[in-house]
Each structure stands twice: as C-alpha cells, then as structure tokens.
Amino acid sequence: MAGKLIIFSAPSGSGKSTIINFLLKQNLNLHFSISATSRAPRGTEKDGVEYYFLTPDEFRARIAAGDFLEYEEVYTDKYYGTLKSEVERRLMSGDNVIFDVDVVGGCNIKKFYGDRALSVFIQPPSIEDLRSRLEGRGTDAPEVIESRIAKAEFELGFADKFDVIVVNDKLEVAQKEAKSSYDMRSWNGSFSGFYHDGKPLPADAGVSAVTIEYFQNL
C-alpha cells in the first residue's frame, strides 16, 4: 500500500519544527524525503544519506528537466530541493512522507499531488505574538527580526491555500490538532475535506484553526 503525504509550512517562529518533531515520535511511520543540494558534503555526510549531492550545473539541468517538486536557490549556486523520484520511492515502499517546506514549496507540492496530500499551515496567533517569540529567542539582531516579520506577513497571505490551518497559541493543543489532522479516518490516501462520523463538517472547518472538537473522536 502506497504511503501518504503531509505538508507543513509556516512563518519562522511559528513552532512548525517543534510540532513536526512531536509527530515524528508518534509512531505514524512518518519519514522525511532526502533532499538534493548543490553544496559540497560536510564532514561525514554521504550521498543518498543526508542529501543527494549535485553540482550546480547538475542541479540546474534537473530543474530544466522538471525533476523537482520544489526547489530554492538560497545563495548563488547553492540550491536545495525535493526530487519527485525520491518522494515516489518513499511512497512506493509504504512510508508516509512529511515535508517541512516554505509556503511556496508547500503550495507546489500540494498542486502536484492534489488530494493525495494533506497540507497544514502553522500560524502564529498574531504578528505581535510572532515578534515576541522571535525577540524572546535572543538569537537574532533587530534587523533580522524585522526581515523575518516582513517575510511572515507575506507568507500569511498563503494560509487559505492549505487544507488545514493550525493556530499555534498553546503548543500542546497545536500538537494535538496537527496529529488529529493526520489521524483522520476519512483520509485514506486522499483528502477532499473534513469529516466527522461520516458527515462533512462546515465549509470553514478547513480554513480556520482546527479544533480537537472536530477530530477527537475520529
């Protein structure tokens, strides 16, 4: 049986990585696909283990061939991306594939797989709350925080393109909501809406904060 796909995107500081790490410990057979990169291996990194290592020219050739679900040039000639072949390899082996990508990458993956994938947007309660979280880290200079805030405002405009929006106000609740989204018994390899006891939920259930009330008994 082919695996499933679940996509997570969020502005920096929204708690996405914490929620994903929580899900990875929940015995859901979730696995990251191995990304490709054009940077050189570091330390003991091996091709096909940490990354698929390509030269910049090889990476660009594979972009031109349409081999990537999503990719980004982080710096000049420093690319990172998700190969379609790697995701298909995981799915055919029965693994459930989890993606931690930016909003544009998330939308591209969702567009490619359609109802086979469940896309989740992790949203901070407000921009003010996000600013407080970033400042509370104590790791970024003020100008870096302002850059992250500007990017977050851009990314929030993509939220309604995702199947599920989880507002990370309280981490434990957000973790449960994310897991409940994944655990939906009505999602059997495809996704076309939210169901509870076999009945469709209100139309806005998938474009507002997912609540345990909707999913706790699935």
pLDDT at 175: 60
pLDDT at 172: 57
pLDDT at 166: 86
pLDDT at 191: 39
pLDDT at 205: 42
CATH fold for the domain made of 1-28+98-218: Rossmann fold (3.40.50)
pLDDT at 193: 42
Task: Kindly give the parts of the chain with pLDDT less than 50.
Answer: 184-218
pLDDT at 167: 83
Span 101-151, pLDDT tens digits: 889 999 999 999 998 899 999 888 889 888 888 898 888 899 999 988 998
Which CATH number among 3.30.63.10, 3.40.30.10, 3.40.50.10540, 3.40.190.10 corresponds to the domain 30-93? 3.30.63.10
Q: What is the per-residue DSSP string for 8-64?
A: EE--TTSSHHHHHHHHHTSSS-EEEPPPEESSPP-TT--BTTTBEE--HHHHHHHHH
pLDDT at 27: 83
Question: Can you give the residue ranges of every domain in the chain?
Answer: 1-28+98-218, 30-93
